[in-house]
Structure 1
Amino acid sequence: MTAPTTIYRNAHVFTGEAALKPRESFAVRGGKILAAGDLDAVRLATGEGAAEVDLGGAFVSPGIIEGHAHMLMLGESLDKVQLRDCKTVQEVQDRLTAARSANPSAPLVLGTSWRFDIFGEGERPTAALLDAAIADVPVFLDANDLHSVWVNSAALQAMGITRETADPIGGEIVRDENGDATGFLLETAAIKHAWAYLEEAASDDDRDRFLENAFNAYLKTGVTGATEMSFGHADLATYRRRLDRDGRLPFPVNAHWLLTASGDPSADLEAIAEIARVRDEVAAKYGDAWLRIAGVKFILDGVIDACTAAMRTPYANGSLPEAIWTREFALPVAVAADAAGLQLALHAIGDEASTIALDMVQECIRVNGPRADRRPRVEHLESVADDTIARMAALGVTASMQPVHCDPAVLDNWQAVLGDERAHTGFPWHKFRDAGVTLALGTDAPTAPHEAPDNLFIALTAKSSIDRSRAAYQPQRVFTPADAVEALTLGPAFATRRDNELGRIAAGYRANVTVWAANPLVDSPEALLDSTAALTLVDGDIAFSTAG
């Protein structure tokens, strides 16, 4: 029996490449694109009996692929107290008090996305500030960048953090002059203590709900694929339950297993071998159409807001922190991962960290030889040197960047802690484009809002989607609409090594398609703000529609 065919017509169909003109229509059969082009040609390709859907002149693109996400964290954050728009500590305290009053039986209170701008010069988060709002149950508040956690005294006690608790490699339990923890956990200290505690506290039902939240939120905004950047055993178990239940996911996910610097080379190499084993086991059982463990993620440094990103020259306060993964430990582990066929995703926000990232890639090529499918990627690249951009082009490294990270509303502290010309040269999208570096855009949700149209708005304008009164940050960097849409679709497909099946509206490709509520090629960018997708297709099926 022939699969049913649907023709979508009366549309501006962006096929995935900025250089190609939009088409008029496309057809779907059996979950794949059958044809794309002018309506008469598409009708001829489909034959008689096809259903037709009039899209009313809407803009259509390949399904958006979220270039950098934390799926369970996003889904969990949607249940948390939202703090991104708080301008003072008092506002944070008020929201926590209101949340506690609304749910007085909750065993703990979770919040997310507070910003460093709420503190005065020289001030830092403390447990005492949170105790003033809630003292009887643990409080855990993720920073906007997800690289630190602010907790109250009850949380410190619940985690068992005392004066004797040692700082982990690459992290810090901030302490006062007496050696007591102040309630601020940085980098791997947040991962080892706060995240581990909350992972233990969450049930399987909780995690299943978090994942469902994330899929639904993304589908609503037109996302039909995601790149998971903090994968671990709890995540894998959650995905496996979904696959065992449904035989599929709501959209394809490429996962990078999160590595934690241990300081023990043998333990690090054993971790690589275990990840490769798990990858093979998952692929053997489920295939990789829906879930692919693609590689590993190294968090090479921290973030600029907390002065933990590794820079070549000091911050305004004189600090110059080391990378979390130094070359001594990073290079051999990268070589082992690359030899096992694991793709490298390298978190590098500071210019020194991105230098280390390319040293890792170069060492992989030297030891393991050239390979066309390597496709290493560097994540974030907020402050990056020109010589690094040139090396990325030469080595074939993808720049995975997030326009929402340079929303002007969140840059005040970022610029202040840099304090020199680096405050005005960040996020240089234009330099990557000029050098011919492949760009894959995403949001890094929940460190930033996950909505794809708002992310595209910032890429097109360098303005704020949060505070629309703010001036643009370095607007010479902006994308043309066609280049930006390609970097949201085909760019991440290439970066995830799925560009043979995703990222294009072309015959034989999976019919993952986004129908936008606004046309970024012709409409004012402001029309994108606060919009959802009009229609989201995954393998030809309707996954979200404003029409219900």
Structure 2
Amino acid sequence: MSKPERVHYRGGRIFTADEPAWAESMVVRGESIEFVGDTTTADGMAGDARLVDLGGAFVLPGFVDAHTHLLGMGEALRQVDLFDAADVAEIQSKVRGAADADLGAPRVLGRSWLFGALDGRSPERGMIDAAVPDRPVYLFANDLHSTWVNSAALRELGITADTPDPIGGRIGRDEAGEPDGMLYEAAALQLVRRFLDAEAGDDERDTALASAFERYLSDGVTGAVDMGLGQDDLDALERALARGGGRLPLRVAGHWLVERTGRTEDDLRQVRRAVELAGRLSGPWLRVTGIKLLVDGVIDSCTAAMKAPFADGSHPGPIWDLAALSPVVAAADAAGLQVALHAIGDEASDIALSALEHAIEVNGPRDRRHRLEHVEVVTEENVRRLARLGVVASMQPVHADPAIQDNWRAMLGDDRVRRGYPWPELTAAGAVLAFGSDAPTAPHPPLPNMYIATTRRSASDPGLPPNIPEFALPMADALAHGTRHAAYSCRWEGLTGRLAPGLAADFVVLDRDPFAEGPGSLLRAEVRQTVVAGADQLLRR
């Protein structure tokens, strides 16, 4: 066997996300980092290593997206993008245009529409019928927790006035009790998703996954936590792993989605499936590390579990109440799985933390690394509680973008908006904060995400006023949350996330230095090189 190649990356400005935070040169042997430090020392030890002159370029660890949906992201790239649609007329125009552009398509799929574009009107099927009456249309909201459909889609799904609401979901209905075209939470995440998944083939899924990998590598992401795996997702990942000879283009850790069934034994059966998968898939390229549970919904559609009602008077309960959640969390914890709990509302985080406390009581103290996902509105007491329990706060700066906050703020309608995305409070309390994107609910590129984290300004419209600017983070902290701490969040701290001897050579080279040029340069910066396990993996578009 030939000896692994040594490469000396010389003369850069290297942010290590470690101590010390800065270096000039890095020596890589094969897939791993051998040395990080000053150039003089590197020159003395590099010997016959191949030299790559960085020319002062900025280098940092490869980003780890701590919360994403890889297959869904790839699929979304082929859907009509409605994020910029300003009103119903523009939504209709884009949907009609997509239908006309592909007359043979059996249905039209769109994504990322915002409730704010409806100018206070409620979305209903007639609005889409006016654009496309003859084919099913499915429009996924920006947060993916609700789906807006036309009459043809309701017929295709078999949803009528007699269809009961699924557990943890709701079918929107008009005054006569007929489905109005809006499907919330489990009605969208289960009824719609399962139907569309059954209609897709493996070739389509493989293409979608490959697209997600390509986009991530192009934007400097070397690892991802796939948050809510189903069988189709896992099958696609395993096919990609086999095609790659036991490697993926980037590292993937996954959480198996456990859906509430109404029967504890059926819920626990899903946990046992996750235990089986975690035992079988535990490599450096693909591993199942835990389970995902949706404790509540989202603020934009008023399905989050809040301690006080929304501005419209609605006050929904959680998807998982504490009595149903506790045995599932305790069983997963006892098996050594990481438990990731989607908890957006302040009541949801209370329920999630109580379930974790119960698991600790039942199973005894040890390192757990459980996670709360999103944590958009949380009480000060639960910030301290989260830190005390050693729970990772997994959050997405892009969700705090001022460009998508109008409806979010209107639905709360009171001083709770001042508790939105309180990143510095969490770190000050001692919690680990891990950053991701939640793609495809939001754009996946990490550099604009870091811009929002460091400024609380909009990446899509930087001229907007910042969103609670006192919650902005120093750049070094933001980058660490997207690299080192994101790796910690899925137990990869001994593998990646930092630039240090013995760790994987997963790193990114940018065309500019955001520390020298300021946060605004994060919106202009381009990735020159993405290296995964010592190999340049950048797929240039």
Matches of 1:131 and 1:366, distance apart in 2: 54
1:58 partnered with 2:43 = no
CA 1:532/1:258 → structure 2, altered by over 3 Å: closer, same or farther?
A: farther
Name which of structure 1's ranges 377-386 and 519-528 shifts more when overlaid on structure 2: 519-528
Matches of 1:321 and 1:364, distance apart in 2: 26
Q: Which residue of 2 aligns with 1:310?
A: 305
Q: Is the 8 A contact 2:15 2:61 kept in 1?
A: yes
Query: SS where residue 271 of structure 1 aligns?
Result: helix
Matches of 1:507 and 1:393, distance apart in 2: 29
Name which of structure 1's ranges 220-229 and 271-280 shifts more when overlaid on structure 2: 271-280
Query: SS where residue 382 of structure 2 aligns?
Result: helix
Q: Is the 8 A contact 1:300 1:325 kept in 2?
A: yes
Q: Which residue of 1 aligns with 2:329?
A: 334
Q: Which residue of 2 aligns with 1:238?
A: 236
Matches of 2:512 and 2:468, distance apart in 1: 25
- Residues 117-266 of structure 1 mapped to structure 2, 5 A cutoff: 117-121=116-120, 123-247=121-245, 248-266=247-265
Query: SS where residue 537 of structure 2 aligns?
Result: strand
Name which of structure 1's ranges 343-352 and 468-477 shifts more when overlaid on structure 2: 468-477
1:290 partnered with 2:288 = no
Q: Report the Cα offset of residue 274 of structure 1.
A: 1.8
Q: Report the Cα offset of residue 469 of structure 1.
A: 2.3
Q: Which residue of 1 aligns with 2:446?
A: 452
Q: Which residue of 2 aligns with 1:269?
A: 268
Q: Which residue of 2 aligns with 1:353?
A: 348
Normalising by the residue count of structure 1, what TM-score does the alignment of the two structures yield? Answer: 0.97
Query: SS where residue 515 of structure 2 aligns?
Result: coil
Q: Counterpart amino acid of 1:2?
A: K
Matches of 1:160 and 1:129, distance apart in 2: 20
Q: Is the 8 A contact 2:83 2:113 kept in 1?
A: yes
Q: Which residue of 1 aligns with 2:12?
A: 11
Q: Report the Cα offset of residue 318 of structure 1.
A: 1.4
1:424 partnered with 2:422 = no
Q: Is the 8 A contact 2:475 2:519 kept in 1?
A: no
Matches of 2:512 and 2:351, distance apart in 1: 41
Q: Counterpart amino acid of 2:331?
A: A
Q: Report the Cα offset of residue 346 of structure 1.
A: 0.6
Q: Report the Cα offset of residue 545 of structure 1.
A: 6.4
Q: Counterpart amino acid of 2:310?
A: Y
The structure 1 residue matched to 2:474, chosen from 461, 480, 491, is 480
Q: Report the Cα offset of residue 192 of structure 1.
A: 1.8
Q: Which residue of 2 aligns with 1:470?
A: 464
Query: SS where residue 295 of structure 1 aligns?
Result: strand
Q: Report the Cα offset of residue 20 of structure 1.
A: 2.8
Q: Which residue of 1 aligns with 2:22?
A: 22
Instruction: Encode CA deviations 1:61-110: one digit per residue, 9 max, x unaligned.
Output: 11100010000110000111001111101111100111111111111111
Query: SS where residue 9 of structure 2 aligns?
Result: strand
Q: Is the 8 A contact 1:172 1:188 kept in 2?
A: yes
Query: SS where residue 431 of structure 1 aligns?
Result: helix
Q: Which residue of 2 aligns with 1:535?
A: 529
Q: Counterpart amino acid of 1:144?
A: N
Q: Which residue of 1 aligns with 2:102?
A: 103
Q: Which residue of 2 aligns with 1:73?
A: 72
Query: SS where residue 157 of structure 1 aligns?
Result: helix
Q: Report the Cα offset of residue 514 of structure 1.
A: 1.1
Q: Report the Cα offset of residue 119 of structure 1.
A: 1.5
Q: Report the Cα offset of residue 280 of structure 1.
A: 1.9
Q: Counterpart amino acid of 1:345?
A: A
Matches of 2:366 and 2:157, distance apart in 1: 45
1:36 partnered with 2:11 = no
Instruction: Encode CA deviations 1:304-326: one digit per residue, 9 max, x unaligned.
Output: 01111001111111111101000
Q: Report the Cα offset of residue 303 of structure 1.
A: 0.4
Q: Counterpart amino acid of 1:491?
A: H
Q: Which residue of 1 aligns with 2:338?
A: 343
- Residues 319-398 of structure 1 mapped to structure 2, 5 A cutoff: 319-372=314-367, 374-398=368-392
Q: Counterpart amino acid of 1:93?
A: Q
Q: Is the 8 A contact 1:295 1:343 kept in 2?
A: yes
Instruction: Encode CA deviations 1:39-71: one digit per residue, 9 max, x unaligned.
Output: 12123333x211111122121111100010000
Identity of aligned residues (%): 45
Matches of 2:170 and 2:300, distance apart in 1: 15
Normalising by the residue count of structure 2, what TM-score does the alignment of the two structures yield? Answer: 0.98
Instruction: Encode CA deviations 1:503-525: one digit per residue, 9 max, x unaligned.
Output: 11111101000112332222121
Q: Is the 8 A contact 2:74 2:212 kept in 1?
A: yes
Matches of 1:147 and 1:429, distance apart in 2: 23
Matches of 1:468 and 1:505, distance apart in 2: 31
Matches of 1:387 and 1:330, distance apart in 2: 21
Q: Counterpart amino acid of 1:59?
A: F
Q: Counterpart amino acid of 1:83?
A: L
Instruction: Encode CA deviations 1:328-385: one digit per residue, 9 max, x unaligned.
Output: 100011001111111000100000000111111111111011112x101101011110
Matches of 1:170 and 1:545, distance apart in 2: 40
Matches of 1:354 and 1:239, distance apart in 2: 31
Query: SS where residue 538 of structure 2 aligns?
Result: strand
Query: SS where residue 248 of structure 2 aligns?
Result: coil
Q: Report the Cα offset of residue 2 of structure 1.
A: 2.1
Matches of 2:265 and 2:498, distance apart in 1: 42
Q: Is the 8 A contact 1:220 1:532 kept in 2?
A: no
Instruction: Encode CA deviations 1:381-403: one digit per residue, 9 max, x unaligned.
Output: 11110000000111111110111
RMSD: 1.2
Matches of 2:90 and 2:524, distance apart in 1: 24
Instruction: Give ranges in structure 2 of 5+ residues lacking alignment.
Output: none
Q: Counterpart amino acid of 1:353?
A: A
Q: Counterpart amino acid of 2:399?
A: H
Instruction: Encode CA deviations 1:109-152: one digit per residue, 9 max, x unaligned.
Output: 1100000001232x221111111111111111110001000111
Q: Is the 8 A contact 2:214 2:539 kept in 1?
A: no
Q: Report the Cα offset of residue 530 of structure 1.
A: 4.9
Q: Is the 8 A contact 1:415 1:424 kept in 2?
A: no
Query: SS where residue 91 of structure 1 aligns?
Result: helix
Q: Is the 8 A contact 1:33 1:511 kept in 2?
A: yes
Query: SS where residue 321 of structure 1 aligns?
Result: coil
Matches of 1:245 and 1:221, distance apart in 2: 23
Matches of 1:73 and 1:54, distance apart in 2: 38
Q: Which residue of 2 aligns with 1:493?
A: 487
